């Protein structure tokens, strides 16, 4: 194996590990986004003027409109970060596919040379 092959293999492994991390992060963000969406849906249904909000290990009573606004802002911010992570994921997938293709073609040409 040449030095170039080895560096591409190492880059492929690093990128694969990076993709795994980003995929995990994306999954967590999707769960958070769904949770925020459900909370907002429940706030839409309630007729209460005040609701309880978790702050650390305690619950405090807060104005429903304020809680709804805070949750909407959190969801908007989270969804924006989620889009960024999805773009990173797509970019890494493309990079991995290219590296895989390069490695396969180099491997085939190396096999061909050894047969000659």
Burial label for 102, CB within 10 Å (0-12, 13-18, 19+), is: middle
The yes-or-no verdict on residue 4 having pLDDT over 70 is no
Pairing of strands 58-63, 50-55: antiparallel
Q: Which of 3-12, 68-77, 98-107 has the lowest average pLDDT?
A: 3-12
List all residues 6 or more positions away from 32 whose beta carbon is below 8 Å from its beta carbon: 78
Q: Which domain holds residue 44?
A: 3-115
What pLDDT sits at residue 29?
97
pTM of the full structure: 0.79
> Looking at the 3D structure of the chain, how many domains does it have?
1
Residue 30 clears pLDDT 80, i.e. is over it: yes
All residues at 6 or more sequence positions from 102 whose CB lies less than 8 Å from its CB, including other chains: 8
Half-sphere exposure of 71 (CA within 13 A, CB side): 23
CATH number at residue 28: 1.10.287.370
Burial class (CB in 10 A: 0-12, 13-18, 19+), 45: exposed
Q: What is the pLDDT of residue 81?
A: 97
- Enumerate residues 6+ apart whose C-beta is below 8 A from 97: none
Instruction: Identify the band that residue 114 occupies on the pLDDT scale cut at 50, 70 and 90.
Output: low
pLDDT of residue 102: 87
């Amino acid at each position: 194996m040449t030095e170039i092959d080895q560096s591409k293999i190492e880059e492929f492994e690093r990128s694969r590990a990076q993709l795994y991390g980003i995929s995990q992060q994306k999954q967590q963000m999707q769960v958070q986004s769904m949770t925020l969406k459900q909370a907002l849906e429940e706030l839409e249904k309630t007729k209460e003027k005040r609701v309880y909000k978790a702050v650390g290990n305690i619950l405090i009573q807060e104005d429903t409109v304020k809680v709804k606004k805070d949750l909407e802002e959190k969801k908007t911010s989270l969804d924006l970060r989620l889009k960024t992570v999805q773009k990173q994921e797509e970019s890494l997938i493309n990079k991995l596919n290219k590296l895989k293709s390069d490695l396969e073609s180099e491997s085939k040409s190396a096999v061909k040379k050894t047969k000659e």
